[in-house]
Amino acid sequence: MTSALFEHTRHQELCPQCGSPLQIRQSKKGLFLGCSGYPNCDYLKPLQPYNASRILKQLDEICPECGKNLQLKTGNYGMFIGCSGYPDCRFVVHDEAEPAQESFPCPECKKGELVARRGRRGKSFYGCNRFPACKFTVSGKLYAVGCPQCGGSPVVLKKQTETHRVFVCLNKNCKHQFNREL
């Protein structure tokens, strides 16, 4: 028994475009083989087949466009319901549009209105519709309650208990906190 029981064998793949060895690299979508001659050679080879969406559950509902079953899937932007006939049928169930909400004047520029928006990670917030001229944003739900100190109208809910709510004025000069009973 002079040889080792387990010997390390090195398998090296060469780039089909330039002949340089391929190296394991990592991106946000996972591992891949990339040419060591980069940036002169831009050859890439995925280590796993890329699947944009993964099927979580087969649903009993029927697609209104093609008649095939719908599926619960997960993709780059979270879970969604789509047709099992993808890519021939691209039907996706979208959330129903929210009813029009009351508009509030922007407390910073006084020209725009605060509109509901959604951030990169899915969090909702309110921002001025005159962006990028006005960069005012506020997280939380807005209420049309007048501030007792300055009279400013949109206020944001800070805390809520069974008996009362605590609001904060959005006026930059005021920032008054006040209670309201339920």
Amino acid of residue 67: G
By the 8 A CB rule, do 89 and 65 touch?
yes
**CB within 8 Å of 123: residues ≥ 6 apart:** 139
Whether 100 shows a pLDDT value over 60: the answer reads no
Average pLDDT rounded to a whole number, residues 77-90: 87
Amino acid of residue 160: Q
For the four alpha carbons of 133, 148, 123 and 59, in that order, the dihedral sign comes to negative
Give the helix, strand, coil percentages of the chain, each rounded to 5. Answer: 0, 45, 55
pLDDT band, very low/low/confident/very high, at 64 (cuts 50, 70, 90): very high
Query: Which residue has better confidence, 4 or 142?
Result: 142
Phi and psi torsions of 99, nearest 5°:
-65, 155
39 SS3 class? coil
Q: What is the 3-state secondary structure (H, E, C) of 155-171?
A: EEEEEECCCEEEEEECC
118 SS3 class? strand
In this prediction, residue 69 carries a pLDDT of 93
* pLDDT tens profile 105-158: 888 888 899 888 887 777 888 889 998 899 989 888 888 888 888 887 788 888
In this prediction, residue 96 carries a pLDDT of 57
Query: Which residue has better confidence, 29 or 44?
Result: 44
Mean pLDDT of the chain: 83
Average pLDDT rounded to a whole number, residues 80-96: 85
Whether 174 shows a pLDDT value over 60: the answer reads yes
Say how far residue 43 (Cα) sits from the centre of its chain.
30
| Bridge partners (DSSP) listed for residue 75 | 78
Could you give the CA distance from residue 150 to residue 93 in angstroms, rounded to a whole number?
A: 45
